[in-house]
Amino acid sequence: QRNTSSAKMAPTQEKHSSEELLQAQVDLWHHALGFVKSMALKCAMELQIPNTIQHHGGSMTPSELAAKIGLHPSKLPRLRRLMRVLIVSDIFVVHEVASPNKEVAYGLTPTTRLLAIDEVRSNLSPILSLILDSTVTAPFSGMHSWFLDEHSTSLFEKAHGLNVWEMAAQNSTYNQLINDAMVSDSNFLMDIILRECSGVFLGIKSLIDVAGGHGGSAKAIAKAFPQMKCSVLDLPHVVEEAPTFDHVSFISGDMFKYIPPADALFLKWVFHDWGDEDCVKILKNCKEAIPSREAGGKVIIIDMVVGSGPDEIITRETQVLFDLFIMCFEGIEREEHEWKRIFMEAGFSNYKIISVLGVRSVIELYP
């Protein structure tokens, strides 16, 4: 039997060296174990490890950390193993502290600081909590059967019997999870947009944030441009729970039916939720709501343009991974030629892509 196995492996052995075969095995293992890295990050967030370390002055030994987050002493070795994964992944750092037994201490990185609750304007915990929520991760276990299913329901709906928007409308906790995630992302991204792309808002007298949720983006724009009349359009169940902001009004409505008139419309992370046909419907309503280009009318889109942005492997990989992630909800991240097709079909004349937001871009769309 051993000789037969060796004979069967001979062609592979002849084509590839042992080093190449072992590296291929490592590559497969590393790819397959990627979910463990995500779950380790989720665990650290739920144990409040980034916040605990920050509140302790930015550095804690394993035993200090375990005691502070309330772990039983028997879990200390397991905590070290969890943190080792996150250190190798550059989520945390480790350094030696001056002590007789040469203890180590865990510290924060720029990445981890984005998860600390105290950093209100840049706290990304809510959006990561949504991405890593079991309602989102569980459907991917059945992706193969979804591909083989001739019906067109989304991966999310196949798993839960509801699409994501129906679940949000029926489940107030889940609705809050989504809204918190969107506000978190807006707080983080809008600071950068207003710093790097403030010119796109110059001269605008009125702006509507379409499907703007609880108004995180509109609030930031209104603060930066107090002379601008800013409004948020969203579905009634979203507007009902929206907070009150100075200089921002909320409008209950449906972007598929009607968008009120304004000089400019702002849509952040909206189009990736919808297929081409629905996007064209939204865009046609946008075109009807704004004045001509000569009169300053335009649509400002914040979304992903796959292939744009920094030419680095982590950017490209994140873009295509997020595209597969959003496919769970029947969403799509588009390449430039795909954006151009829906823009032209909706009757717009021109557009400009400004790639200064990492994996995402600002798109100025003109009637």
CATH assignment of the domain containing 361: 3.40.50.150
The answer to whether residue 83 is domain-embedded is yes
Tokens of 210: 């379409």
The answer to whether residue 15 is domain-embedded is no
Instruction: Give the per-residue pLDDT at 181.
Output: 87
Same domain, 220 and 262: yes
**Euclidean distance between CA atoms 12 and 17, whole angstroms:** 9
Same domain, 320 and 228: yes
Write the CB contacts of 244 (distance below 8 Å, at least 6 apart in sequence). none
What pTM, to 2 d.p., does this model score? Answer: 0.85
Range of the domain at 49: 20-114
Same domain, 239 and 95: no
Tens digit of each residue's pLDDT (9 = 90 or more) over 111-158: 999 998 665 557 899 999 999 999 999 999 999 999 998 877 899 999
Instruction: Give the per-residue pLDDT at 185.
Output: 85
Tens digit of each residue's pLDDT (9 = 90 or more) over 32-73: 999 999 999 999 999 999 999 999 989 999 999 999 999 999
Q: What is the CATH number of the domain that holds 87?
A: 1.10.10.10
The answer to whether residue 52 is domain-embedded is yes
Q: Does the annotation mark 272 as catalytic?
A: yes
Same domain, 305 and 165: yes
Tens digit of each residue's pLDDT (9 = 90 or more) over 67-97: 999 999 999 999 999 999 999 999 999 998 7
Considering 214-223, 306-315, 345-354, the range whose residues carry the highest mean pLDDT is 345-354
Average pLDDT, the chain: 90
Residue where one domain finishes, among candidates 114, 140, 175: 114
Instruction: Give the per-residue pLDDT at 244.
Output: 83
**Would you give the distance in Å from CA 340 to the centre of its chain?**
23
pLDDT exceeds cutoff 70 at 352:
yes
Tens digit of each residue's pLDDT (9 = 90 or more) over 171-186: 888 888 988 888 788 8
At residue 314 the predicted structure's pLDDT band, cuts being 50, 70 and 90, is very high
Instruction: Give the per-residue pLDDT at 118.
Output: 62
Same domain, 200 and 321: yes
Same domain, 235 and 274: yes
The answer to whether residue 139 is domain-embedded is yes
pLDDT exceeds cutoff 70 at 170:
yes
pLDDT exceeds cutoff 60 at 8:
no
Annotated catalytic residue within 16, 160, 272, 337: 272
Q: Report the candidate in 367, 338, 328 with the shortest Cα–Cα distance to residue 159.
A: 328
**Euclidean distance between CA atoms 270 and 259, whole angstroms:** 14
Same domain, 142 and 63: no
Bridge partners of residue 106, in order along the sequence: 60, 94
The answer to whether residue 3 is domain-embedded is no
Same domain, 253 and 170: yes
Give the CA distances from residue 184 to residues 6, 50, 53, 78, 180, in Å, rounded to whole numbers and listed in that order: 56, 17, 21, 31, 6
Q: What is the count of structural domains for the chain?
A: 2
Q: Average pLDDT in the 212-229 region? A: 90
Phi-psi region of 102 (alpha: psi -120 to 50; beta: other; left: phi over 0): left
pLDDT exceeds cutoff 70 at 5:
no
57 within 8 A of 65, measured Cβ to Cβ: no
Count of CB atoms situated within 10 Å of the CB of 35: 12
3-state helix, strand, coil in the chain (%, to 5): 55, 15, 30
Residues in the chain: 367
At residue 215 the predicted structure's pLDDT band, cuts being 50, 70 and 90, is confident
